[in-house]
Chain A
């Protein structure tokens, strides 16, 4: 048992001494209150008596429990030892605190509570220790619990902010932005109407990227329009190396979908499929429906004729952005649709890749 818990205690987070001091002061205040109540009930006895016993028993009980809990692995949700130690710890703390505290106070007064005359008083202090111990433990437990919860909430918030930042970085990738601007600069001089059209696509792309995370769902037709903006920009840049087709059946135009869900898939198809390939290729985006065991499913596919999964540098540690795109799509699907939302990557017949997203046709109930 000793050998078992020792390494865990070594791994436990460092003891926060400021926190412990705060707990000690709270405990002392609690003890003073108890002593005051006892004095109020039995004013014929000197105040020193309940004061010393209360302080000795209370602070020792607190020390046993508050320091003892670092010996056990604590539950992440409450910051308190999990399972049996969580109950046994305050019980043991109270017994030890009571026996030790009584002995300490006895030493202070120079007598023993254990001989005949003090027995009645002992019974009273057992009850007081028990009630005060339970109340104190409950107080610190709920305090610790809410502090842990607060810490968790702020951590989740930090993670969400980081994810949003990474998403923005991926979408406003400097290479894409500066090359697009370079093309625009050329077009302004040579072909102003085309420059204007390209600028309009860029504006729509930026508007969607910068504001997209705020809307929960938008119609599939809008999603396709944003993909068209991006692909039109890329078509100007890549010239004849990029051909694309967007295929959206009339009946599916109004289906609500998470905004910019397909964007990372199209970006991956270009960046890891077409860009490495000298001849370029074709990108097709298709929407269709299929019947699954739990009702109608929407199937969205991004198909490219690029270099394919095996040679794609997506598996390459030098391109940290590619995994992020796929992970992000998977996470969004899981959050909105649970197990019913899936992302599959399928190797094409010859070369190329198909990224297929499937989720229920009916809008999710968040």
Chain B
């Protein structure tokens, strides 16, 4: 049996740097086939799903969405039964990212690229690809790392209380009227296009404040992130149900609908 040549996807918004990475990879790993090179975070997810390559090289700062956000989206959208690609992030300078990468479950490359460093990364990725079986699930270390990277991007003052204090009321506009919704009554914040849906037991409000801004002003002990676009009140969670396909959903006290849990955040719902 012949093992097919591994394929890679490059997502890098600066054309010269993308071309250079492709060129350097050609020398460091001649068997690797660069299946596509894209310049933004949205195309990165689309092409990764379409091509299903073995290795992903994602720049962290990209238009559309960041490389981290693209990776988080891929984790959820990746088809079951198919091994998740080896992830390598590219960054010019990102102290939080570099700190979080120390564990090195996923690798990173600092720009300007240096041939010797690239060679190490290639060796590590080759080792990873050789070691794992075809249907290996994503390791929890990789997920934890991705979570912390996304978190690091959210609040520069890691772990510190928000400067403006915790949010106590949501000011929700209804036409010309502003309703004051106590945060204590809110069960769910859900990102929906350009808005955030604020759900209480009885009502639904739309606000324009982005979820990432809300997240910085909420008590993360009270509100758990269960998806890129969903925060739920931890005390309102009634049950977590795993479907046959492995997808996890939450039922809340006081809301009829179910809420999908991302693979990235599924670890907190294991039985004790």
Q: Which residue from chain B places its CB closest to the CB of A191 in the assembled complex?
A: B16
Contact partner of A174 (CB less than 8 A), chosen from B93, B154, B155, B213, is: B93
B10 within 8 A of A: no
Q: A178-B93, A178-B112, A182-B111 in contact; A316/B14 too (CB < 8 A)?
A: no
B216 within 8 A of A: yes
Whether B13 and A318, one on each chain, are in contact in the complex, defined by CB atoms closer than 8 angstroms, is no
Q: Which residue from chain A places its CB closest to the CB of B95 in the assembled complex?
A: A174
Contact partner of A181 (CB less than 8 A), chosen from B40, B112, B213, is: B112
The interface residues of chain A lying within 8 Å CB-to-CB of B112 are 178, 181-182, 184-185
The interface residues of chain B lying within 8 Å CB-to-CB of A280 are 63
Roughly how many angstroms separate A316 CA and B156 CA in the complex, as a whole number? 12
Whether B61 and A186, one on each chain, are in contact in the complex, defined by CB atoms closer than 8 angstroms, is no
B212 within 8 A of A: yes
The interface residues of chain A lying within 8 Å CB-to-CB of B113 are 182, 185
Q: Which residue from chain B places its CB closest to the CB of A279 in the assembled complex?
A: B63
A179 within 8 A of B: yes
A106 within 8 A of B: no
The interface residues of chain A lying within 8 Å CB-to-CB of B14 are 179, 182-183, 237-239
Whether B40 and A278, one on each chain, are in contact in the complex, defined by CB atoms closer than 8 angstroms, is yes
A121 within 8 A of B: no
**Chain A binding site: helix, strand, loop or mixed by DSSP?**
helix
Interface residues on chain B, number (Cβ under 8 Å): 30
Whether B20 and A175, one on each chain, are in contact in the complex, defined by CB atoms closer than 8 angstroms, is no
Roughly how many angstroms separate A316 CA and B113 CA in the complex, as a whole number? 31
The interface residues of chain A lying within 8 Å CB-to-CB of B154 are 318
Contact partner of B92 (CB less than 8 A), chosen from A179, A236, A320, is: A179
Roughly how many angstroms separate A46 CA and B119 CA in the complex, as a whole number? 98
B15 within 8 A of A: yes
**CB neighbors of B among A7-65 (8 A):** none
Q: Which residue from chain B places its CB closest to the CB of A183 in the assembled complex?
A: B16
Q: A179-B111, A241-B13, A318-B156 in contact; A186/B92 too (CB < 8 A)?
A: no
Contact partner of B111 (CB less than 8 A), chosen from A178, A236, A275, is: A178
Whether B92 and A237, one on each chain, are in contact in the complex, defined by CB atoms closer than 8 angstroms, is no
B210 within 8 A of A: yes
A317 within 8 A of B: yes
Roughly how many angstroms separate A185 CA and B43 CA in the complex, as a whole number? 27
**CB neighbors of B among A211-259 (8 A):** 236-241
Minimum distance in angstroms from A166 CB to a CB of chain B: 15
Most buried by A among B92, B110, B213, B216: B92
Minimum distance in angstroms from A310 CB to a CB of chain B: 9
Interface mask (B88-108 → A, CB under 8 Å = 1, otherwise 0): 000011100000000000000
Whether B210 and A316, one on each chain, are in contact in the complex, defined by CB atoms closer than 8 angstroms, is yes
Interface residues of B (CB under 8 A from A): 13-17, 19-20, 39-40, 42-43, 61, 63-64, 92-94, 110-113, 153-156, 194, 210, 212-213, 216
Closest 9 CB pairs of A and B: A174-B93, A178-B92, A182-B112, A239-B15, A182-B111, A186-B20, A278-B40, A185-B112, A179-B92
Interface residues of A (CB under 8 A from B): 174-175, 177-179, 181-187, 190, 236-241, 275-278, 280, 311, 316-318, 320
